[in-house]
Amino acid sequence: MKPLSDKRNWGLGPFGPSGVQGQSPWPPEAPLASIVAVALFMQNLDGTIIATALPAMAQSFGEDPVHMNVALTAYLFAVALFVPASGWLADRFGTRRVFAAAVAVFTVGSLLCGLSPSLPALIAARLVQGAGGAMMLPVGRLVLLRAIPRERLVSAMAWVTMPALIGPVIGPPLGGLILGFTTWHWIFYLNLPIGVLGIALAFRFIPDTREASGPLDLAGLLLSGVALAALLAFLELVGRGIVGGAALAAVLAAGGASLWLYARRARGQARPLLDFSLLAVPSFGVSVLAGSLFRVGVGATPFLLPLMLQVGFGRTPLQSGLITFAIAAGALASKPGAVAVLRRFGFRRTLIVNGFVSGLGIALYAAFRPSWPVAALYAVLLITGYLRSLQFTSYNTIAYADVPPARMSAATTLYSALQQISLTVGIPISAAALHLARLGSGHAVPGPADFSVAFLVVGAISVCAGPAALLLPEDAGRELSGHRLGEA
């Protein structure tokens, strides 16, 4: 396959949109990145809309709103469970076919979610959605990493997330608007036309690359799945307080044993599903460590914030959505400047300082109260959204700075799996903190102070991402950012 730089007008004809041959106003990576972003747009739109709709869905199903976190964790659990197989599937069947199939599965899962009559049915449908989502992100990232030269990777990663961020921007207010005029079921039906468009674009434009692959390690997939399921079950059960200590210890022991068996099995394989030896690559390992800490707080926010605004503050779904969208608006605003910031300060300094400040920003949500002016809420959410988006762009780029091309498929698989696990873990941790705070205060319905405890817990974990980035070398990712030592 030719480099992307030789395909300046992907799908735009010989003259490009400007009408002047060879002078397209778009960066060469923009068309391919935008196609991948269609799938991410659908995924992110779905995630933010459902977060806004959780209280309404709880009322429809007759469930406790605090326990509706399982609708979010079920999806993320399925993503983390099936991500380990994504690299093997892409290498075996080709990136184009697997990417299109992932979008199709996600779309079918969305239809099933909209038709769900109960919480158990919704959980099952969300698992189907997650199976599709597990393939969309890592395979889409793999398409970009294989097609785009390294010197344009920062720009590509920023570009691919810009259209995808439109979903979180419009998701919360759109979810509130839908709930104001119709039922929550329509938040899932919105994905159907977007999914059809994504499938068509994938078959038209995604390059069909593949690599040599051996047989799928089904035993390894089972062991890693059991380990993850046990971890999430442990956190979920702690949060609900419905089983005793012996049962919790047994669940944790089963997860630990499965993880140990998988790690032992992986050491004897040339191409394991999850190649943990990649953690020895400094830029990759530090990005995983610091990024996982940071994503705990970020993953908890879509669950905690809409619930606090609606249940704790008594705002309507539309009012809640119009407030929470400010996070995504701030994230969208950061993308054009991400390249300039990294060129000026480098990856290491950016990840240390911005990681610490962004973690504090999540903890600052604990200070929110019903009496706060809406403008003040907007300001805090816009700023923290801006900072955390810059952090994500940095993590998602520096992770691959020193990974050899032959191991890129394994790297995207491992990184995506650990990324989803950290996002997933944040939800039951925050739900457990909220549940315990509510028990301690004696509130039948969680109040603002109970939500404050939960935000402080996940914020404290995210703050640790800044110091963790001290492990990066001074010149980490210099080839990607263009930063020269001694600047700034």
State how far the Cα of 63 lies from the Cα of 121, in Å rounded to an integer. 13
Tokens (6 digits) for 129: 């959605």
pLDDT digits (tens, 9 = 90+) for 230-278: 877 787 776 666 666 788 888 889 888 988 888 888 777 777 778 888 8
pLDDT beyond 90 at 180: no
- pLDDT of 213 higher than 70: no
What is the distance between the alpha carbons of residues 53 and 178, in angstroms, rounded to a whole number? 9
Instruction: Specify which of 250-254, 366-370, 416-420, 480-484 reaches the highest per-range mean pLDDT.
Output: 366-370
Confidence (pLDDT) at 17: 36
Q: Which of 103-107, 427-431, 446-450 has the least mean pLDDT?
A: 427-431
Could you give the 3-state DSSP secondary structure of residue 116? coil
Rounded Cα–Cα distance for residues 72 and 78 (Å): 10
Q: Is the pLDDT of residue 105 over 80?
A: yes
What CA–CA distance (Å, rounded) separates 446 from 454? 11
What the block records as the tokens of 329 is: 């608006």
Q: Is the pLDDT of residue 90 over 90?
A: no
Higher-confidence residue of 245 and 453: namely 453
The position carrying tokens 């032959």 is: 406
Question: How much is the pLDDT for 95?
Answer: 82
What was the pLDDT predicted at 344? 85
Q: Which of 122, 156, 115, 116 is nearest to 31 (CA)?
A: 156
Answer yes or no: is pLDDT of 297 > 80. Answer: yes
> Is pLDDT at 223 greater than 60 in this prediction?
yes
**What are the pLDDT digits (tens) for 5-45?**
333 333 333 323 333 344 444 555 556 666 777 777 777 77
pLDDT above 90 covers a percentage of the chain that reads: 21
**Contact assessment for residue 102 and residue 139, using Cβ atoms and an 8 Å cutoff:** yes
Of the pLDDT bands very low, low, confident and very high (cuts 50, 70, 90), residue 129 is very high
Across 127-144, average pLDDT: 83
Q: Which residues contact 233 (CB under 8 A, 6 or more apart)?
A: 251, 255
DSSP string, 135-160: HHHHHHHHHHHHHS-GGGHHHHHHHH
Q: Which residues contact 32 (CB under 8 A, 6 or more apart)?
A: 4, 10, 143, 144, 147, 148, 205, 206, 207
Evaluate the CA torsion angle 123, 126, 128, 130 in order and state its sign: negative
Q: Which CATH architecture has domain 27-205+275-481?
A: Up-down Bundle (1.20)
- Among 23-32, 73-82, 94-103, name the one with the lowest average pLDDT: 23-32
Task: Look at residue 149 and tell me whether its pLDDT is greater than 90.
Answer: no
- Of 369, 417, 400, which Cα lies nearest the Cα of 137? 417
Contact indicator for 48, 373 with CB cutoff of 8 Å:
no
Residue 342 has pLDDT above 80, yes or no: yes
DSSP type of residue 218:
H
Is the model's pLDDT at 463 over the cut of 50? yes
| Joined tokens for residue 263 | 């790690």
Q: Distance between CA atoms of 124 and 269, rounded to whole angstroms?
A: 33
Read off the pTM.
0.72
> How large is the C-alpha radius of gyration of the chain?
22
Burial of residue 298, with CB atoms counted within 10 A of its CB: 0-12 exposed, 13-18 middle, 19 or more buried: buried
Residues 6+ apart with CB under 8 A from 432: 235, 238, 239
User: Which range, of 328-342, 368-382, 438-452, averages the lowest pLDDT?
Assistant: 328-342
- 452 closest CA partner among 240, 305, 238, 296: 305
Instruction: Specify whether the CB–CB gap between 153 and 480 falls below 8 A.
Output: yes
Position 419 scores a pLDDT of 81
Characterize 314-337 residue by residue with b for buried, 16 or more Cβ atoms within 10 angstroms of its Cβ, and e for exposed: ebebbbbbbbbbbbbbbbbebbee
Q: Which of 422, 455, 450 is nearest to 232 (CA)?
A: 422
Give domain limits for the chain: 27-205+275-481, 218-273
Which pLDDT score is estimated for 18? Answer: 37
Q: Which amino acid is residue 151, in one-letter code? A: E
pLDDT computed for residue 330 by the predictor: 85
Whether the CB-CB separation of 368 and 448 falls below 8 Å is answered with yes
pLDDT category, 1, cuts 50, 70, 90?
A: very low
Higher pLDDT, 200 or 333: 200
pLDDT at 284: 92
Rounded mean pLDDT of the chain?
Answer: 80
* Cα 224 to the center of its chain, rounded Å: 20
Model confidence at 151, in pLDDT bands (50, 70, 90)?
low
Q: What is the pLDDT of residue 9?
A: 37
